[in-house]
Structure 1
């Protein structure tokens, strides 16, 4: 499927609720189908909506007096109900200027569903939608490391949005997959299991891809090597490191362990063997050795994706 959610709404609720909510969810990396975003002049309304409904994992339905007064939004709801009968949870209801008794009057079946309410603010609604999506997405398939590493801890940390712990676990796993040992906690100063150039060039492609897939999956594409490599590819000029730091939010600032961090903000790289003091909560864009680690890891990741493309041909 191409979208995380389809937003079903009455036109009267578009400006106040549907569009602002869709834009807010997009900031968190959620792929949203909203007619405003997808329809252009001359498009078939019915076909476009049919496509959006069929290509979205979930349907966010903004229930209001205007919604129940119109035929078209209720047809969208009927389509989502039909999908839910065969696929499990699909409908994520949002109450707008409605109470429990109103919902019971309009649709007793919907009254039984746990819903978010716009009376608590759109950030609260967006948070509940994100949590519902995270909880209901299937877990990754069996993860097979090229060097016998277990990724269950990382997956569980990412699934529960423990971004700081997941970042530290990723560094440990990268170091272990290189054949080196982690000599202590990654948030302690000192020389603790670092990566050199040769270590990075020999990182197993399979494990790099696993790390990227997990970060990308649970951040909805915001984090991971793919996101960072995409940013690097967009930068031209000589000061690539400074521009990269600016875009991912690493300019003389503490790491933000939140989903709303800039795209590419996580994961941060393990320390380079030239760095003798480690502060995993802070990145200085003057650390050129650290930049070398970032660039080398992303170069190795790109090499791995090229290898995969060649094998697929």
Structure 2
């Protein structure tokens, strides 16, 4: 609670908060910048203690470290990591690799033009990253998941696993998360292979990525 309050004060008015802090603690600051430095180091010290006790993946630690770093011009490596870990996405694109070039990337590019934060694997996952950890984390952090369904994806392990994960979240949270997009030529195959989606209103993909992006923007602006 104390650390949260200090981070809040840093965010709202770091100079005033720093001057009050050094005065209360009896520290001697040579100037305003020195006072800010003392205050900054104290907050990072408290955050480091939380990390030591709770671990570097403790949600509250990551949240406070990310908030502190966001408002700190002298960002630390750990602060940047926390910002990355707590980053959220508007959209996660679930797709089979065979549909990446023809469908997934055009949609990603149109969403990006509209400044809609979007997760797509080849952009967000780097060499050496844990594939499972990255994908699971992004799924949880995404407001919506666009599932590109086609003859290529209905029998693929990863797209189906992501699909089931999102459906489970919908049931648990009672909110629409899954936006199904069916390749025009494959509607019958998808319907036969994924009967669990029979009550889901879907959009047919007809080489219309800009239209899809506009519909997503409308949902986000509701």
Aligned residue in 2 for 1:16: 102
Three-state SS of the structure 1 residue aligned to 2:148 is strand
Task: State how far apart, in whole Å, the 1-side matches of 2:146 and 2:99 are.
Answer: 13
Aligned residue in 2 for 1:76: 162
Three-state SS of the structure 2 residue aligned to 1:112 is coil
Aligned residue in 2 for 1:97: 184
CA deviation after TM superposition for structure 1 residue 58, in Å: 0.8
CA deviation after TM superposition for structure 1 residue 130, in Å: 1.9
Query: What pairs up with 1:106-117 in 2 under 5 angstroms?
Result: 106-117=193-204
Aligned residue in 1 for 2:115: 29
- Does the CA contact (< 8 Å) of 2:151 and 2:186 recur in 1? no
Task: State how far apart, in whole Å, the 1-side matches of 2:205 and 2:171 are.
Answer: 27
- Does the CA contact (< 8 Å) of 2:154 and 2:190 recur in 1? no
Query: What pairs up with 1:109-258 in 2 under 5 angstroms?
Result: 109-119=196-206, 121-135=208-222
Is 1:5 aligned with 2:91?
Answer: yes
Aligned residue in 1 for 2:80: none
- Does the CA contact (< 8 Å) of 2:125 and 2:131 recur in 1? yes
5+ residue gaps in structure 2?
Answer: 1-86
Three-state SS of the structure 1 residue aligned to 2:126 is coil
Task: State how far apart, in whole Å, the 2-side matches of 1:100 and 1:8 are.
Answer: 17
- Alpha-carbon distance change, 68 to 99 in structure 1, aligned in 2, over 3 angstroms: closer
Aligned residue in 1 for 2:128: 42
Task: State how far apart, in whole Å, the 2-side matches of 1:103 and 1:110 are.
Answer: 9
Three-state SS of the structure 2 residue aligned to 1:65 is coil
Query: Once the two structures are superposed, what CA deviation does each residue of 1:200-230 show, in whole Å capped at 9, x if it has no partner?
Result: xxxxxxxxxxxxxxxxxxxxxxxxxxxxxxx
Q: Kindly indicate which of the two structures has a greater share of residues assigned to helix.
A: 2
TM-score with structure 1 setting the length: 0.41
CA deviation after TM superposition for structure 1 residue 59, in Å: 0.6
Aligned residue in 2 for 1:175: none
CA deviation after TM superposition for structure 1 residue 40, in Å: 0.8
Query: Once the two structures are superposed, what CA deviation does each residue of 1:110-149 show, in whole Å capped at 9, x if it has no partner?
Result: 23212222216111222222222333xxxxxxxxxxxxxx
Aligned residue in 2 for 1:186: none
Task: State how far apart, in whole Å, the 2-side matches of 1:107 and 1:114 are.
Answer: 13
- Does the CA contact (< 8 Å) of 2:89 and 2:143 recur in 1? yes
TM-score with structure 2 setting the length: 0.57
- Does the CA contact (< 8 Å) of 1:103 and 1:111 recur in 2? no
- Alpha-carbon distance change, 12 to 26 in structure 1, aligned in 2, over 3 angstroms: same
Query: Once the two structures are superposed, what CA deviation does each residue of 1:61-106 show, in whole Å capped at 9, x if it has no partner?
Result: 0001111121111001011011111221000011113454333201
Equivalenced residue count is 135
RMSD: 1.6
